[in-house]
Amino acid sequence: MPASALALVVAAALIHALWNFAAKKAQGNHHFSCMTALGISLLWLPAALIAGFDELPDWRWQAWTATIASAVVHLAYFNALLAGYRAADMTVVYPVARGSGPLLSSLVAVVLLGEHLGVGGGLGLAGVVGGILLMAAGPTFFAKGANRDPELHRKRKLGIAWGALTGATIATYSVIDGYAVKVLALSPILYEYFCNALRLPMILPAVLRDRTGFATALRRQWKHALVVIVGAPTAYILVLYAMKLAPLSRVAPARELSMLFAALIGGQLLGEGERGWRIAGAVFIALGVAALAMAK
């Protein structure tokens, strides 16, 4: 992987972990999803106009099909992520979501796009997946009898389930978006903007049926929403540019550097336990990412 692509992915990973922390703190639902989509549509409009002034008239049906498909999957992703954060710890949901997604997308990239992981890439991917298992499950997940906390076990199972569902959506939109920026050569800024803006008409009907609930959520969660509005597009635009410079099967797993930041955030700022297991998992992830970055 080129150093420039790796630098983009590292910056994106930090930003991604920070906006996920804000989403976890918000404890939001479809109202939160709507306010972030609306905010992104407004805040990023000037950048989209500048990026798309020359390109947008040339978009054909393939570009719009990819954009609409990605918007649908991104909406499913964000709603599943928020549901997971309402049900379980960030240090359970986040690693499962971020790990299962790249695992699936890398496999799809190899099978459908003809990319090759090689031995080093395969070992790196194994390290990422192993680290995620350490972070998400930990020793208490497999405990039995008196050593098991039923409520903690229930929450962890919910977190793993929602994280896996979120990961499936990540794998899906990663392949769609990789095709959009690599094959169709769409502008990452313009493409990401419309992927977000097209979520609005899908969310609005449910929000309009509960205007009071939206107003209440806006008063309570606007600060967290602002972090997502700025951070989520920034992080993903950096990833899309990295996809232009390196194969998807390298970029997708390398994004798991965000796990290093998530482990620190979950342990220090959210007070989530099992710090030793989180650190061990983060080390495995770091080694896996290094192997992926050096793979030819």
Report residue 201 as tokens: 């008409």
- Give percent of the chain above pLDDT 90: 24
Helix orientation angle between 3-26 and 90-112, rounded to the nearest 10 degrees: 140
Question: Each residue of 151-188: pLDDT tens digit?
Answer: 777 887 888 889 889 988 988 888 898 889 888 988 88
Q: Give the C-alpha separation, 242 to 9, whole Å.
A: 7
Helix orientation angle between 30-43 and 211-245, rounded to the nearest 10 degrees: 60
Whether 179 contacts 247, CB under 8 Å: no
Question: Each residue of 261-287: pLDDT tens digit?
Answer: 776 776 555 555 566 777 777 778 777
Non-local (6+) Cβ contacts of 243 within 8 A are 177, 178, 181, 182, 251
Identify the pLDDT of residue 266.
Answer: 63
Q: Give the C-alpha separation, 106 to 288, whole Å.
A: 14
What beta strand segments (E) does 110-244 contain? none
Question: Each residue of 105-125: pLDDT tens digit?
Answer: 667 767 776 777 778 777 877
Question: Each residue of 38-92: pLDDT tens digit?
Answer: 999 999 999 888 877 788 888 999 999 999 999 999 999 999 999 998 988 887 8
Q: Give the C-alpha separation, 28 to 81, whole Å.
A: 10
Question: Each residue of 181-216: pLDDT tens digit?
Answer: 888 988 888 898 999 899 999 999 989 999 999 999
Q: Give the C-alpha separation, 92 to 155, whole Å.
A: 9
Of 291, 288, 181, 194, which Cα lies nearest the Cα of 239? 181
Identify the pLDDT of residue 295.
Answer: 63
Confidence of residue 246 (pLDDT cuts 50, 70, 90): confident
The domain limits of the chain are: 3-294
Identify the pLDDT of residue 273.
Answer: 58
Rg (CA), the chain: 19
Of 251, 244, 226, 97, which Cα lies nearest the Cα of 162? 97
Distances in Å between the Cα of 163 and the Cα atoms of 133, 139, 169, 256, 267 are 12, 18, 10, 14, 18
Distances in Å between the Cα of 190 and the Cα atoms of 107, 128, 212, 224 are 27, 31, 33, 24
Identify the pLDDT of residue 106.
Answer: 66
Element (H or E) spanning 281, and its range?
helix 275-294
